[in-house]
């Protein structure tokens, strides 16, 4: 069964304290891995897509990396405005039982950055 597990569930950081969020996945084949940011009361906002092991993407203080089993979202010198829930989702190459192109979402990591 295709599965996505994110850890930790919650992470508290001091402003400027760098850390990483983990997304481990089990799929028969990976079409793509997506990272989203979700603020309270809002819909998920797209951050990155990664397609193959070894690939890296960066945006401001965020850097996403991908291996064959997991992805990391590295946050360098975070600021309070980086506080949000970060969601990871994978798109398998095959969706069993239909649901063409469906993404399998993890439960998210809630990040809090204190000033």
Partner 1 sequence: NAGVTQTPKFRILKIGQSMTLQCAQDMNHNYMYWYRQDPGMGLKLIYYSVGAGITDKGEVPNGYNVSRSTTEDFPLRLELAAPSQTSVYFCATRQGLYSPLHFGNGTRLTVT
Q: Is the dihedral of CA 94, 101, 84, 56 positive or negative?
A: positive
Residue with tokens 């809090």: 112
Q: Is residue 101 close enough to count as binding partner 1 by CB under 8 A?
A: yes
Q: Is residue 100 close enough to count as binding partner 1 by CB under 8 A?
A: yes
Distance, CA of 100 to CA of 48 (rounded, Å): 21
For residues 14 and 99, which CB has a smaller minimum distance to partner 1 in the complex? 99
Interface of this chain with partner 1, residues 1 to 40, rule: CB under 8 A:
4, 31-32, 34
Q: Is residue 44 close enough to count as binding partner 1 by CB under 8 A?
A: yes
The residues binding partner 1 (CB under 8 A) are 4, 31-32, 34, 41-46, 49, 87, 89, 91, 98-108
């Amino acid at each position: 069964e295709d599965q996505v597990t994110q850890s930790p569930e919650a992470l508290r950081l001091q402003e400027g304290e760098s850390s990483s969020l983990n997304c481990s996945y089990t799929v028969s084949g990976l079409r793509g891995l997506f990272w989203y940011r979700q603020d309270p009361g809002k819909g998920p906002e797209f951050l990155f897509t990664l397609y193959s092991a070894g690939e890296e993407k960066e945006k401001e203080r965020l850097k996403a990396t991908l291996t064959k089993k997991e992805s990391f979202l590295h946050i360098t010198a975070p600021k309070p405005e980086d506080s949000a829930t970060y969601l990871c989702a994978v798109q398998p190459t095959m969706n069993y039982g239909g649901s063409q192109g469906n993404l399998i979402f993890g439960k998210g990591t809630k990040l809090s950055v204190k000033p």
